[in-house]
Chain A
Amino acid sequence: MEFLRWMENISYIKWVAESDSIWGFPIVLVFHTVGLALVVGTNAIIDLRVLGAGRKLPISALTKLSRSMWIGFFFSAASGAVLFMMDAERKSRQVVFFVKLGLIVLSFLVTILIQRILTKEGAVVESDVPPWGKILAAMSLMLWAAVIAAGRLMALS
Chain B
Amino acid sequence: MSSLIIALQHLVLPLLTQPGLRRLIMSSVYFWVACQVLHFLGVSVLIGVVGFFDIRLLGGMKHLSLSAAMDLMPWAIVAFLVNLVTGTIFLLGRPNIYVHAISLWAKLFFIILAGSNAVIFQLTLKEKALAIGPGDDTPISMKLVGATSPLAWFAVLYCGRMVPYLGTI
Contact = CB atoms under 8 A, between A and B. Distances in A.
Interface of chain B, helix or strand or loop or mixed? helix
A99 interface: no
Contacts of A39: 44
A45 B52 contact: yes
B117 interface: no
A49 B72 contact: yes
B111 interface: no
A153 interface: yes
Interface residues of B, number: 35
Given A44-B48, A57-B71, A152-B33, A34 B157 contact: yes
Interface stretch (A22-30, A84-92, A110-118, A126-134): A22-30
A22 B45 CA distance: 27
B114 interface: no
B37 A152 contact: yes
Interface residues of A, number: 34
B81 interface: no
A61 interface: yes
B154 A148 contact: no
Interface stretch (B1-9, B19-27, B61-69): B61-69
A40 interface: yes
B48 A37 contact: yes
Contacts of B41: 40, 44, 144-145, 148
Interface in B35-53: 36-37, 40-41, 43-49, 51-52
Counting from the closest, the 6 A-B pairs by CB-CB distance are: A41-B48, A40-B44, A54-B71, A54-B72, A56-B71, A26-B165
Interface of B: 29, 33-34, 36-37, 40-41, 43-49, 51-52, 61, 63-65, 67-69, 71-72, 74-75, 154, 157-158, 160-162, 165-166
